[in-house]
Amino acid sequence: MKLIIAIIQPEELPYIKEELLKREIYKFTVTNAKGQGKEFPVQEVYRGISHEITLLKKVRLEIAVNDEFVEPAVEAITKVAKKDGDKGRGKIFILPIEECVRIRTGETGSVAIG
Amino acid sequence: MKNKNIFLVVFLLGGSSLLANGEPTAADAIFTINNTWMLVAAFLVFIMHLGFATLESGLTQAKNTVNILFKNVSIIAIGILTYALCGFNLMYPGDFNGFFGFSGLGISTGAEGLTPAYNPGYTYWTDFIFQAMFAATAATIVSGAVAERIKLSSFLVFSTIYVALVYPIVGSWTWGGGWLADKNFHDFAGSTLVHSVGGWAALVGAYTLGPRLGKYSKNGEIKPIMGHNMPLATIGVFLLWFGWYGFNGGSVLSADPGAVSFVFVTTTLAAAAGVIGAMGTSWIISKKPDLSMILNGSLAGLVGITAGADCISPMYSVVVGLIAGVIVVLAVIQLDKMKIDDPVGAISVHLACGIWGTLAVGIFSPDYQLGIQAIGVGAYALFCFVSANIIFQVVKLALGLRVSEEEEILGLDIGEHDMESYAGFQIFTVE
């Protein structure tokens, strides 16, 4: 059982969702995040002053999967997110899960991940 | 005490300096009262712009709010300035052939313009400012239907041309004493002249632009794009309703107690009935009561009664409002089925119910005929539809109409303005 944490550009979320669904990965959590990497800061203008924003909007996608779904999930994300250009494409972290419990039934382990 | 005496002296001096000779007469007092009411009505119509701004903000996504607000603020400026430049004199050209006339650039008047000789209800300046507020209102209707995907520059160019030329020219046909006025076509406060004129442009804009990304999927599914702030939307609708007392009440063009109080009642009854009509319709169709639908419903009732608030009885006003509430819900659903994306329901409220309100005058008022009302609706439809199409196509060729796909997803606030409306808040820009 693995927990995949992906930090992605917000505008890619709908397309990544589509790719995940194609690979029969239906369960995930999405949160807003701000982050900075190597990419160039964004210029914003407010009341005559141009300033740089370095902490940029990101989306954090968390998917808990059984081992056989790790590769499809990573593939789904990179297929959409991997592009040439200045913008940072994001990162994927894969963590081992010690235990997983389905609250409704009390099931544990791979069965609970679904 | 001393201040009060000084104030009284200045007031009396000021008052008597306005009057020709001798003591103020009852006619002078009536003129002052009429003019005062008309000025109050003018700023009541003005506050409708705050209503539009908040309503549109509430019903669209947070990532586009700066853009929506920018459009609303700039439109009132453009509307008023162009009206001063040429709109007023295009709409009221004096003696003309009934179709097109122009009495010169700019606004100015002699001493007579400040007296009842100009009009027993208002001075020249009051006339201008009251009518200018109407012009700006017609222009801002379009901004809702084209929201969240139109390029700012294209929108501004389109709106400037439309409000400077199209609105006053077609307005002259009726309120300016043109050919429709001669036929006894009746549009008391602008169901056609303001709301459907704006509505036709909104319709043309919405389908020329195309729908927002992701709104209609290839297999026919309609995906709702939720408004981000229902309290703002509600504030907007109540502000619009509030301003409508000036919109309709001031269209009496005097403070005549009987007429204005009558109009207040018909206006209010229709608005209330519009809420109920929309409530019933949307509850039956969607099985759940929908706030955004009843908000649109009250506006539908208001637009519906605007053509006949002075000549439709209170009982029939309720009927007009009820039917408008039903129409607006059905129109919203139908437009979605036709894949015409209208984020705030502007077309359903202003065009559909503007047409209904105009025809309702012919149905419910013995003084006017349905046939003539229909001719008027048709004439405005033709001219506005064609001219809006021409202007949009020209702007599309010259500037392009739509923002890029990436900008639309990221939000127009960042794309067009490099600014956030809710800096510091975490908003989801995509789902």
Decide if B379 is inside a domain. yes
Q: Are B430 and A14 an interchain contact pair (Cβ–Cβ within 8 Å)? A: yes
- In angstroms, the Cα distances linking B141 to B62, B199, B389, B393 are 20, 7, 16, 19
Q: In the prediction, which pLDDT does B4 show? A: 60
The pLDDT of residue B331 is above 90: yes
Alpha carbon of residue B347 to chain centroid = 12
The pLDDT of residue B160 is above 80: yes
The pLDDT of residue B12 is above 70: no
The pLDDT of residue B9 is above 80: no
Residues of A in contact with B409 (CB under 8 A): 11
The pLDDT of residue B123 is above 80: yes
Q: Are A44 and B420 an interchain contact pair (Cβ–Cβ within 8 Å)? A: yes
The pLDDT of residue B15 is above 70: no
Q: In the prediction, which pLDDT does B16 show? A: 45
pLDDT band at B35 (very low <50, low <70, confident <90, very high): very high
CB B229, CB B62: distance < 8 Å: yes
In this complex, which of B214, B419, B431 lies closest to A45 when CB atoms are compared?
B419
What does pLDDT average to over chain A? 87
Residues of A in contact with B430 (CB under 8 A): 10-11, 13-14, 59
Decide if B15 is inside a domain. no
Among A34, A42, A44, A61, the strongest candidate for a mutation testing the B interface, having the largest count of B CBs within 10 A, is A44
Residues of B in contact with A57 (CB under 8 A): 429
pTM over 0.80: yes
Task: List the single residue in A with minimal CA-CA distance to B213.
Answer: A14
- The count of structural domains within chain B is 1
Backbone torsions φ then ψ of A6, nearest 5 degrees: -120, 130
B429 in A contact zone (CB under 8 Å): yes
From B419's Cα to the closest Cα of chain A, the distance in A is 6
CATH number of the domain within which A31 lies:
3.30.70.120
Residues of A in contact with B431 (CB under 8 A): 13-14
Rg (CA), chain A: 17
Q: Are B431 and A32 an interchain contact pair (Cβ–Cβ within 8 Å)? A: no
Decide if B217 is inside a domain. yes
Decide if B20 is inside a domain. no
In this complex, which of B414, B417, B431 lies closest to A14 when CB atoms are compared?
B431
The pLDDT of residue B2 is above 60: no
CB B78, CB B160: distance < 8 Å: yes
Q: Which domain holds residue B261?
A: 28-417
Decide if B61 is inside a domain. yes
Backbone torsions φ then ψ of B402, nearest 5 degrees: -105, 150
Q: Which domain holds residue A15?
A: 2-113
Alpha carbon of residue B406 to chain centroid = 32
In this complex, which of A11, A14, A59 lies closest to B406 when CB atoms are compared?
A11
Tally Cβ neighbours within 10 Å of residue A18: 11
B407 in A contact zone (CB under 8 Å): no
Residues of A in contact with B418 (CB under 8 A): 43-45
Residues of B in contact with A61 (CB under 8 A): none
Find the mean pLDDT for residues A60-84: 90
From B159's Cα to the closest Cα of chain A, the distance in A is 25
CATH number of the domain within which B95 lies:
1.10.3430.10
The pLDDT of residue B20 is above 70: no
Find the mean pLDDT for residues B177-191: 94
- The count of structural domains within chain A is 1
Q: How many residues does chain A have?
A: 114
> Which of B 216-255 lie inside 8 A of A, CB atoms?
none
ipTM: 0.76
pLDDT tens for B43-96 read 999 999 999 999 999 999 999 999 999 999 999 999 999 999 999 999 999 889
Q: In the prediction, which pLDDT does B27 show? A: 87
B390 in A contact zone (CB under 8 Å): no
Alpha carbon of residue A29 to chain centroid = 9
Residues of A in contact with B419 (CB under 8 A): 44-46
Q: Are B430 and A13 an interchain contact pair (Cβ–Cβ within 8 Å)? A: yes
Decide if B371 is inside a domain. yes
